[in-house]
Amino acid sequence: MLPIISYFFIFSLGCWLKSVPNFSQKLMSIFDYYNYRKYLQDYYKQHKVLQRYFSYRSFAQKAGYSSSGYYLDLVQGRKSLTPQMLSKFIVGLGLNEKEARFFRLMVDFTHAETIEAKQQIFERMSLFLPKSAKILTKKQQGYYAQWYHVAVREALSILNINETNVQELAGFLNPKISVPQAKQTLRLLQDLELIRKENGFFRSVDKAVSSGKDISALFVHQFQKQMIDLGKEALDRYSIDRRNVSTTTMSVSAEGMIRIHQKIKAFQKEILDIVQSDEGETMVCELNVQFFPMSEERKVSHKEIK
């Protein structure tokens, strides 16, 4: 039987998505969002339901600008909110002082181009969140803080573990972890409701964890680095018949890169199909897929295309 594979991909780690507001029943809160484009999209949908005559034009009039298409351009990413327009949108959205400060950070977060910049802004945004949301966010960060949290969760599909034999779990992983680390991981997974007791043993629950794609990237970034490091160590830790590591350096066109991405996605699906139909798992494995540029992209002229 093929082993359960704990995936490197963000998509396989999943998303513990926040429930989308029921626009006819629940008023949305700006503090549930990190991407201002998504916030504006949901704001429009809700107010279109609540106010029959609400439109992009009526919002523009309230905010004090002339282009009724600007709102949709922001939502669809064709334009970005400028500092000059930011104040107008705060007026149009009817935000109070606290909400306005959060919205400004939300705009900065959406526009930030690096994980490090987003992380700094995210920390400032977290100060505005309710206590319950802060606690949950911290636990979500904790889940991705150590590689073995994910590995332990997978191992519980193989081992019969309870409070009396945690040392078996700690010694099962490679590299091994300590018993205190194993116990702490079990507590974290229970707090996040990712495992539960079944017939006296801990079992994984079919549930995933994150705060949506904008935040999950922040949490997963360090986790991915850890998994890449484990992949490097596997070269020395395992014999060639126990691992599969290969590298290929290539030159491709923009179209070729798109086709390769499509092939990788198809491959990911095939692996998932194998795992989902697998039975009698005996080990936890890791699959990392990396495909990235190693140069700048040369601009091709129209003459060359012809």
CB neighbour class for 125 (10 Å; exposed up to 12, middle 13-18, buried from 19): buried
Which tokens is 261 given?
A: 């991405």
Mean pLDDT, each 10-residue run in order, the chain (306 residues):
38 33 59 91 93 93 94 95 95 95 95 86 83 60 88 95 97 96 95 90 73 62 89 94 94 94 94 89 94 89 60
Task: Please name the residues in contact with 136: beta carbons below 8 A apart, sequence gap of 6 or more.
Answer: none
Question: What confidence score (pLDDT) does residue 22 get?
Answer: 43
Residue with tokens 């590995």: 151
Q: Mind listing the domains of the chain with CATH numbers? A: 33-129 (1.10.260)
Residue 79: φ, ψ to 5°: -135, 165
Instruction: Classify residue 206 by its DSSP letter.
Output: S
For residue 118, CA distances in Å to 84, 213, 217, 260 come to: 22, 13, 10, 29
DSSP secondary structure string, 252-268? --HHHHHHHHHHHHHHH
Helix (H, G, I), strand (E, B) or coil at 171: helix
Q: Where are the beta strands (DSSP E) in the chain?
A: 4-7, 195-198, 201-204, 284-287
Long-range contacts of 235-244 (CB under 8 A, 24+ apart): 237/174, 237/175
